[in-house]
Homo-oligomer: A and B are copies of this chain.
Amino acid sequence: MSVPSSVTIHSPATVANMVCGFDVLGFAVKEPYDIMRICFTEDTGITIINEDDFNLPTDPEKNVAGAALLALMEELKEPVGFELRINKQIKPGSGVGSSAASAAGAVVAANKLLGDIFSKEDLVRFAMNGEKVASGVKHADNIAPCIYGGVTLIRSIFPLDIIPLQAPPLFVTIVHPQIEVRTSDARSILKQQVLLKDAIKQWGNIAGLVAGLQQSDYSLIGRSLEDVLIEPVRSILIPGFDLVKQKAKKAGALGGGISGSGPSIFMLSKDEATAQEVAKEMKSVFESISLEHHTYITTINTEGVKFIN
């Protein structure tokens, strides 16, 4: 196997939680994606060059891609040097896995440069160190779909147990209202205790969603996209959320909810025409409350991080 002198990748946005799958489900989308290029350097260590205007830190320990690479380098037998150029297209803080795209993209690209010596599971493990830098918590519900593609279940973090799930074609409409929701705030407002009866409803729904995805049963997917525990609490951080959801479903969306910890909202549809109707309805809500927003339509990305050269 020939080892390339540099590797360029597209690292996609991801939607974590997937309504009833808080902390355990996520899926990758085709767009947006970050563009990253990695090559070896003569000096050891990590050089990060940002090719975008987000002014993210370039100190490897404070940069999510850098932290992920550092974890990978700890398991190499010999010290190496990487130069990583990041052109971020996924807006940080939008709730579609911007930090995961950096962390996952960096280690997937580095692994290719090293001759594919690590497994996907190893790469998830390394990339979770990036998530820790971003939000203080190691989680994999964006990282895993970013690396594996498609819809993934993270049954367990310790030990890591990632299960790729089959899914039928789905169109994804995403609206990003231009407000800030900190992941740490979105986490801290959750109650640590929940009613058993609500938890039962939630696991009935996630079981239904997994079955619906694997059986390509769109109606079952739609019926199962219900979250009685997290969404009622977190949605208060997103103005217009209830109306967006209501109008999107009326326009034909199967269902949807908060993407990750927000503020983006995603809706799944069976076909593109519906996804476009849904986008129109989403826009109308934020226009009516004069909240700046960005709406886009994409599909599920089944390959994850993509090699360009």
Cβ of A2 under 8 Å from chain B: no
Asked if residues B214 and A155 are in contact (CB atoms below 8 Å), the reply is no
Identify which of residues 142-165 in chain A touch chain B, using a CB-to-CB cut-off of 8 Å.
153-156, 161, 163, 165
Asked if residues A21 and B207 are in contact (CB atoms below 8 Å), the reply is yes
Q: Which residues of B contact A220 (CB under 8 A)?
A: 155, 163
| Contact count band on A | 35 or more
Q: Which of A75-83, A178-186, A195-203, A277-285 contacts B (4 or more CB under 8 A)?
A: A195-203
Asked if residues A229 and B196 are in contact (CB atoms below 8 Å), the reply is yes
Q: Which residues of B contact A193 (CB under 8 A)?
A: 193-196
Cβ of A44 under 8 Å from chain B: no
Contact of A192 among B196, B209, B214 (CB under 8 A): B196
Cβ of A269 under 8 Å from chain B: no
Q: Give the nearest-CB partner of A191 in chain B.
A: B196
Asked if residues A21 and B194 are in contact (CB atoms below 8 Å), the reply is no
Cβ of A92 under 8 Å from chain B: no
Contact A211 B214, CB 8 Å, known A21-B203, A196-B193: yes
- A sample of 20 more A-B contacts (CB under 8 A), given A22-B203, A211-B214, is A153-B207, A155-B208, A155-B220, A155-B223, A155-B224, A156-B223, A161-B208, A161-B223, A163-B220, A165-B211, A193-B193, A193-B194, A194-B195, A194-B196, A196-B229, A203-B203, A207-B207, A207-B210, A210-B214, A214-B214
